Every structure is written in C-alpha cells, then in structure tokens.
C-alpha cells in the first residue's frame, strides 16, 4: 500500500537500520513505524446510489497504522545483515497479521534483499510528489482513494492503482540494488509469482486474464544536482512469464504473459518539487481450446496505463501539494468500455513536533467501470461513481 523512494526504501536502508552495530554483535531489534487516524466526509453520485439501492454513511473514521521491527549486525567479514518485519493493524487475518518482511545482505557490492517486500522497481520509482503523511492511507498512490474506501468503487475497478510497476505489493521476491555510481543506481528483481501474497495458503497457479506468474524486472535511476536544482529520473521494465488462467471464459485458456515499463522524474528548487510518472501495461491472452477470440468477441491483448503529475511546496513546518492521477485498463470484451480511475488531490500538512503532523486533504474521485455498448441507464449508473472527499487528522511517525 506504500510507494517508497530509493532513499527510504528497505531495499537500500540495510546499512543504516538500527544504528551501527559492532562486528559480530547479535542483531537487536528496534521498534518504529507510523500511525494515523483520519476523520473524513465523502459524497457519492446520486444516480449510482439509486441504481445500487443502498445508503452510504457520509462521515467515516479511518486508521492506518503499522509497527516496524528492524535490526542489523555487521559481520567480521564486513557484510551487514539486517532484518525488517512489519505488523499492520486492520484488514488482516489474525492468523497472518504481518504485512511485509525482508532479510538484507549488503556491502560494497550493494544490497541483496529477499522477502515479501516492495521490488527494486518500486524502490527506484519517481512519481508525483505529495505531502500529507498518511492522509487517505498514504496519499495519491495506492491509497484509500483508489481502493474505493471513501468514494465507493462500483464493481472492483481494474485500472492500475499506481503510476509505477508494483506487482501485488507483497509478493515474495529477491532484489538487488547497486551502490550509486556517478549518481546512477541499478536495481533488478525476480518475483516467482507477481500476483502472490506473502506466505499464500497455496501457490497462485491460476489467475484471471490480467495475471501471470514469474516476473523479471530491472531499472535504472539517476539522482543529481545541477546549479542548485535537484533532479531525479528513472526507468524500469518488467517481463512476466506465462501462467495458467483458470478464470478465463473458456476451459484451457492461458495467459500468454505480460510486459510493463515505467518512467518518471522529479525536479526540485527552493522548496518546490515538480514531478510525475508513467506506467504502461501490455497483457497477452491465448486460447488453446479451439475457439478464437474473434468468435468470443473478446480481445487477445489487454492494455492499460497509469500516469500522474504533481507540484509540492514545503517551507519550515508547512507543506502543500496538488496532484492528479489517471489510469485505465481494457476489458476482455471488445464491445466493453475501459475501466478508468481519475483523482485530483490537494493535501497539506503542519509539523507540530518530531514525528507528529496535522494533515488535511480534499480530493475528487471518478470511477467508470466498463459496460457493454448499448447498456441501459441502470447498468451504466451502477458502474459509474464519483464524489468529493474531505479528511483531516494526525499522522505520526516513530
């Protein structure tokens, strides 16, 4: 649920976690994390509510809290070994309260990270900057706004939730991050199942039309300063191998794999930061049961994209940002319109003290889920929803 930049990602924090340990000292865990409670109001489209025949409470209270256990030790051979475990409150089974975890080995060669954590492509991602701490559960990317927690998502919108390649977020993987050389940092990731979760009950062998299994990703980022202007730019690519697709419309159908790429950058000067990111998705489908996609009136390829752009300003304890997110994904039916998500977000923060910020935000969210051509108004209204969100609360880091 989080976009972590290279400077703060666990993928590159191995050498600084929990302070500098003496050679051969045992690992000692420190406790950190974040906490937030928000009070918000959201409106819904009247036609959507009428079509659904339901009522929605306008005011809600939402929390976003995680506890992080981190530690490291430096071995006699100079290698640093570190661990990170995250516990997340809410929305998880008590049988599996963990969110993400990893074990990292780092040295002069860079860092190798294994576990259920963000990939190297997430670590190098540069997208629209925004302030507001944990407002809307993490701001513009992958937060409560995309999830439909405020303005209701009609039927599970399939549009991407981030302008960078994020696979499932918690898929177990192994990644490598190089040391910075002349401002350049290289990252690579192997993900056995790009649609999996941490410690799934069983291997995710079967996925829907948008899914595939083994993933291989690589990316490059550059950070530097030119004439007092900070510049960051990145690009990355992911290729995912074919995997069985039991959820397709015909028995024996297979997903033929997918390709994704991302680009993004940020420019900063005198407290201002401007930036954005773009993600492109191409998913191939294959029918082996003797039927053609033409006969089924379906697409043999599903394409999607997501992009965002934003401007941020911070001075002293104050910060404000304005950002826009736009995403779309094709549906399997040729005569079915795309799923889309569009979000405007204005956020502000005031740092009251170390680790304590008063935050607030206002956003407009628009969901349009694909419908077949010629659908009646009831079907259309039940697949489209939009509304405004206003929220405020405290965002803590510790």
Whether residue 51 is contained in a domain is answered as: no
Question: What does each of the 398 residues of the chain score in pLDDT, given as a tens digit?
Answer: 444 443 434 444 444 443 444 545 789 899 999 999 999 999 999 999 998 888 888 999 998 899 999 999 999 999 999 999 998 865 444 445 567 899 999 999 999 999 988 899 999 999 999 999 999 988 777 788 988 889 999 887 889 999 999 876 667 899 999 999 999 999 999 998 877 655 444 444 433 334 457 889 999 999 999 999 999 999 999 998 765 544 444 544 556 778 999 999 999 999 999 999 999 999 887 776 666 777 778 888 889 999 999 999 999 999 999 999 999 999 888 889 999 999 999 999 999 999 999 999 999 999 999 888 888 888 888 899 999 999 999 999 99
Q: Is residue 358 part of a domain?
A: no
Residue 146 lies in a domain: yes
Is the residue at 48 inside a domain?
no
Note the Cα 14 to chain centre separation in Å.
22
Q: Within a 13 Å sphere around the CA of 182, how many CA atoms are in the beta-carbon half?
A: 0
Has residue 132 been placed in a domain?
Answer: yes
Domain that holds residue 184: 62-341
Q: Is residue 166, in this structure, part of any structural domain at all?
A: yes
Does residue 288 lie within any of the structural domains?
A: yes
* CATH code (residue 323): 2.40.160.10
Count of domains observed in the chain:
1
CB 238 within 8 A of CB 215: yes
Q: Which two tokens stand for residue 326?
A: 């736009």
Residues in the chain: 398
- Where do we find the tokens 């400077």? 7
Residue 127 lies in a domain: yes
């Amino acid at each position: 649920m989080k976009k972590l930049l290279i400077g703060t990602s666990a993928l590159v924090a191995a050498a600084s976690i929990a302070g500098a340990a003496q050679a051969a000292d045992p690992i000692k865990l420190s406790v950190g994390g974040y906490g937030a409670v928000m009070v918000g109001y959201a409106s819904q489209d009247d036609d959507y509510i009428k079509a659904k025949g339901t009522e929605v409470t306008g005011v809600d209270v939402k929390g976003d809290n995680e506890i992080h256990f981190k530690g490291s030790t430096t071995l006699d051979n100079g290698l640093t070994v570190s661990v990170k475990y995250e516990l997340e409150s809410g929305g998880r089974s008590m049988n599996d309260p963990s969110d993400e975890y990893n074990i990292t080995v780092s040295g002069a060669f860079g860092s190798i990270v294994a576990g259920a954590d963000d990939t190297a492509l997430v670590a190098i991602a540069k997208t629209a900057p925004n302030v507001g701490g944990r407002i809307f559960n993490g701001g513009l990317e992958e937060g409560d706004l995309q999830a439909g927690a405020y303005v209701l998502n009609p039927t599970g919108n399939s549009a991407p939730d981030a302008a960078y390649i994020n696979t499932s977020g918690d898929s177990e993987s192994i990644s490598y991050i190089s040391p910075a050389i002349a401002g350049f940092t290289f990252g690579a990731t192997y993900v056995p199942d790009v649609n999996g979760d941490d410690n799934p009950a069983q291997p995710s062998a079967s996925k829907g039309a948008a899914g595939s299994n083994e993933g291989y990703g690589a990316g490059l980022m550059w950070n530097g300063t030119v004439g007092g202007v900070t510049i960051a730019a990145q690009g990355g690519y992911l290729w995912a191998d074919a995997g069985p697709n039991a959820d397709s419309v015909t028995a024996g159908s297979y997903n033929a794999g997918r390709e994704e790429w991302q680009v993004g950058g940020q420019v900063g000067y005198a407290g201002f930061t401007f930036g954005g990111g773009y993600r492109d998705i191409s998913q191939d489908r294959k029918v082996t049961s003797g039927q053609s996609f033409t006969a089924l009136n379906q697409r043999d390829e599903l394409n999607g994209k997501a992009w965002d752009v934003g401007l941020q300003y911070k001075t002293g304890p104050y910060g404000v940002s304005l950002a826009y997110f736009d995403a779309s994904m094709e549906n399997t039916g040729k005569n079915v319109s795309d799923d889309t998500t569009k979000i405007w977000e204005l956020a502000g923060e005031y740092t009251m003290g170390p680790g304590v910020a008063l935050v607030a935000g206002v956003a407009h969210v628009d969901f349009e889920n694909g419908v077949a051509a010629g659908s009646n108004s009831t079907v259309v209204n039940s697949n489209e929803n939009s509304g405004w969100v206003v929220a405020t609360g405290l965002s803590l880091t510790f």
